[in-house]
Chains A and B, each alone.
Chain A
Amino acid sequence: MKKTRPLKVLYFVPVIILAVLEFLYQRATFFVMDDIWYQTNLVTGQKLSSALDVIKSQIWHYFNWGGRSITHTILQFDLMGGALFCDIMNLLMTFLLCIVIASFAKERIHKLFYFYASFSLIISLNASFRYNMFWQSGAVNYLYSTVWILTFIKVFLRELEDDSIKALPGITFWIVPLGLITGWSNENMGPASFILSLMVIFLVKKNKKYDRIPWWMTLGCISSLIGSFLVIVAPGNFVRSAFTNNSGLLRTIIERALSMLTGACSFLLPPLVIAVTLFTVVTMVLGFKVSNRDIVLIISSILAFGAMILSPHFPPRAVFGIMILLIVLILSFLEQISERFPKFSLISNIFIICTYVYSVIEMYVCVCYYY
């Protein structure tokens, strides 16, 4: 125990430094654009004063503007809490997301590395951290929602990790709300999570892990499907899409193809290049067999990315969920290589230090700019 303590300190000190910088930047980021609108009762235009105002606003929102009711409800409650409350919540959610990512580590001793690595990778590989982690509307829509989406994914994927794994306590009850909010959060990650759960059920059945598929899996899958359905068919989506320019079919195809190319080759390029390099090293150089868990994660990230072709707008902040899936894959590949070649763990650490230095400089510059 004593031997590991200095190592833990080595991981925690940089995390605290980065967290302080992130918090300072959170404090410097004011409520802007959508934040101002969501601070009001969307029906009356008056300032939010009670939970009833939020419910009324979200009913109006669902029928007139968009289907992301879960995230926008949380956003409105957050905004009611004030700026300091939002800043603390954002930082806590960042920590929570890193904890969920750390739960993907195969070995218990690697969890701390996963946590530290994900904390810096979230900034360094992010195409638009200002808009998906610091801008309040973006933070709730992407950072917060990724926490429960990834939790849902983890709950399913742990069934592929180990045959002797036991079911989580009370899962049959809490998987339904979790599946529902997962599907209802986001137009691309929600349906991708549903398909992921379907793939896991198929693999569990194929591997004959259980005589009968557990109830919680079926319920989780169905609830995420219902959630995805609710977010996509919201009448507000159609009202909103009427505001966008209706160009011809050929022009639309070209525009969507270009936006997908921009998404992959610009917004997602850093995590994509690193994930592809490590995937190649694991499969082609070392000749490892990719685990079912990683295959499912790869397919889900491709599906989540592919779903963006249906969206008329593809802002950089929208790749947050896909980036998180790629970060999980990157860390999983690093772990696999380090397991086989212990010397490689030093390389993994140097790689993470590079990304950490980048994140600290980026945060430091942002903080300096505002103060």
Chain B
Amino acid sequence: MKKALNFVFSLCSIIVMLSLCAYAIHDMQSAEGVGFFFCLMLNAPSRVPFDIATDIIFFALLVALLFIPVMAVKERSIHDFSLFLITYIALMPSISTAYVLGLFRSLDAFKPYLDTEFLTTEFIHHFRIEIPLIVLLCGVNYVIKNIKPEKSDWIMMICAFIAILVSIPFPGLYYLASFIASYLFIIVLFKSMKKLPGKLWLLHVVFFFTAVYRIITVCQAYTL
């Protein structure tokens, strides 16, 4: 009975979250005109097919980002997917679709320059929840359950810090670096949460509401 309920809750949260994400992606990309850009480039009579295609591509990218870490861990379940999905939406910095397009359109982002204004607190804001939470959960796993962090966790953490360091001389890559670093931190966080099965439900509730709030704010920003 408990397992069935767990399954239903996980499935419902996945459906709700993915639908909201699809809506937010559509809102963002149609307002920023990513599909419209391709429509103008090709002199097409209607932007609708381009908008739909862009929606599908970005949504597929999101689903891939969500699936890869869940598939990589042992003993995966639908509950794990819902947990990762909720944590991802709650903590990941949102990245603009126009910014992603811009990375492919020009090499401006890859030009190194010294921008003193770049060193803003915005950058470290992304890491004020994730890193302390990883420290606490890995600490609990290590001290109480005697489970050491895996080698892959260390590698991901180092890669995340490298991503942060790389973006210092390349401020144009800030959003991308911030996104990659946050993504890696969240995978480590997810893995450490998985080691405390069924215990952190209250934290998941907080993350669920945060995820809903974040999607609402993204939609609010792009709805006229």
Contacts and interface: CB of A to CB of B under 8 A. Distances in A.
Partners in one complex: yes
Interface of A: 124-125, 258, 261-262, 264-266, 269-270, 272-274, 276-281, 284-286, 337, 341, 343-344, 346-347, 350-351, 354-355, 358, 361-362, 365-366, 368
A276 B201 CA distance: 10
Contact of A273 (B127, B133, B199, B212): B133
Count class of interface residues, chain B: 20 to 34
B137 A277 contact: yes
B207 to A, nearest CB: 8
Contact of A361 (B124, B135, B139, B203): B124
A272 B121 CA distance: 21
B121 A362 contact: yes
Nearest to A258: B216
A272 B206 contact: yes
Interface string B184-224: 00000000000010011011001101101110100000000
Q: Is the interface of B mostly helix, strand, loop or mixed?
A: helix
Interface in B137-171: 137, 139-140, 142-144
Nearest to B120: A365
A277 B201 CA distance: 10
A345 to B, nearest CB: 10
Interface of B: 116, 119-121, 124, 127-129, 131-133, 135-137, 139-140, 142-144, 196, 199-200, 202-203, 206-207, 209-210, 212-214, 216
Given A280-B200, A365-B119, A355 B210 contact: no
Contact of A350 (B120, B127, B135): B135
Contacts of A362: 121, 124
Nearest to B205: A276
Given A265-B209, A351-B136, 10 more contacts: A269-B210, A274-B133, A280-B199, A280-B202, A281-B144, A284-B200, A344-B139, A344-B143, A347-B143, A362-B124
Contacts of B144: 281, 285-286, 341, 344
B203 A277 contact: yes
26 contacts: A264-B206, A265-B213, A266-B210, A269-B206, A270-B129, A273-B133, A273-B203, A273-B206, A274-B129, A274-B132, A274-B133, A276-B202, A277-B203, A280-B199, A281-B136, A347-B136, A347-B143, A351-B136, A351-B139, A355-B128, A355-B132, A358-B124, A358-B127, A358-B128, A361-B121, A368-B116
